[in-house]
Amino acid sequence: MNKFSNFNQKIIFLFTLIFIFFLTSCNKEEIEKPDNNVVVTETEYPLVGIDWVLSDGRLYVENMDNNDKSYYDHFTNGQNQSVLNPFDGASVTFDTLIQDITTWNFGNSNFTLNGVLSYTQSGTINAINVSGLENGSARTITVLELTENTLTVQVGEGYASDGINNYHYFSTLTFIVPGYTCNNCQPDVMFGYTYGGSFTTTPNTSDLIGTKWVVTKFYDGFSNNYPNDTLDFFNGSQYRINNGSPINYTLSSVFGNNMSELTLYGFYTIGGDYSGMVPNSFVTNGEINSALFTDIFNTNNDKLVWMVRIQ
């Protein structure tokens, strides 16, 4: 009786070990999500007082309705201009990105853009606030990585809709110190995002360089006006009205459609700083017909504009 009892106990013990081994072997090891979005809180390298030159950037877009996540290159070969807001374009100068041209300089209380424009700066290294932009808005900058020669930040976070889906977006931009060169010096792509190609594939700003346009008509809500002023886009960021002083402009694609945003600062022909949506093919077609241009400082001041390319 004791022999059978001992035998049964051994069998039970053996099956218990097998059961425990089976459970243990079936437990899947969880893959730890890589933390490649680390915010810098302390650093031995200086941030303040350097003219950081924009070298590269990525745009991250999440479709909040189906959870698709894609990232895009802000710049590619032959394409050196982009914007922070992929849906509405650049509402202020800060939102325009020009590779190897755009510079940021952080001070103790002032932020300088492109060596000329100065704004109020506050906050800490992981939440730098730049306020007092042209339309009274502000932008928040988060430092992700800071080395002796490079700076990577997260900026331009926002939410938008294309009328079908809702999106969350932001950009990571990598800057370098003057005189430093690097290829692909951006940090790793953020976890969970797949490559979607180049963001601003059309139009290239270069398409507009060297062209001249006549503003044949604009409607201000009360009457038609026929100024016949000539706009000369003599380089990738500036134009002249009737051979006057250089004025800034930006041209950027809009995410999810075949339209572009043309922003003309100092567009005194129609009364100020205006931005309008135009077809991507407007340079090739040589005309802008009844395009709605909005005063970027007074969104209630809309005007319809007609322009014809003469060169």
What number is the average pLDDT over the span 96-103? 88
Q: How confident is the model at residue 27 (pLDDT cuts 50, 70, 90)?
A: very low
Print the SS3 string covering 93-150: HHHEEECCCCEEEECCCEEEECCCEEEEEEEECCEEEEECCCCCCEEEEEEEEECCCE
- Give 2: exposed, middle or buried? Use CB within 10 Å, 0-12, 13-18, 19+: exposed
At residue 252 the predicted structure's pLDDT band, cuts being 50, 70 and 90, is: confident
- pLDDT of residue 282 exceeding 60, the answer is yes
User: In CATH terms, is domain 205-309 a member of 2.40.128?
Assistant: yes
Q: Are 171 and 85 in contact (CB under 8 A)?
A: no
- Overall average pLDDT of the 123-142 stretch: 91
Average pLDDT over residues 2-24: 54
The pLDDT value recorded for residue 257 is 62
Q: Can you give the pLDDT at residue 132?
A: 93
Whole-number pLDDT of residue 203: 47
> CB under 8 Å to 196, separation ≥6 — which residues?
61, 70, 71, 72
pLDDT-derived band at 250 (thresholds 50, 70, 90) equals confident
Determine the Cα–Cα distance for residues 167 and 158; give it in Å rounded to an integer: 8
Query: Tokens 């893959």 label which residue?
Result: 31
Tokens 């914007």 belong to which residue? 83
Q: What is the pLDDT of residue 32?
A: 44
In the chain, what are the domain boundaries? 52-198, 205-309
Burial of 136 (0-12, 13-18, 19+ CB in 10 A): exposed
* Residue 275: HSE in the Cβ half-sphere, 13 Å Cα cutoff: 24
Closest CA to 237 of 227, 225, 246: 246
Q: How many CB atoms lie within 10 A of CB 303?
A: 21
pLDDT tier, 6 (very low <50, low <70, confident <90, very high otherwise): low
Counting every residue, how long is the chain? 311
Structure tokens at 12: 């039970």
What proportion of the chain, given as a percentage, has pLDDT over 90? Answer: 49
pLDDT at residue 4, rounded to an integer: 46
Q: pLDDT for 169-213, tens place per residue?
A: 999 999 999 999 888 788 899 999 999 888 754 445 557 888 999
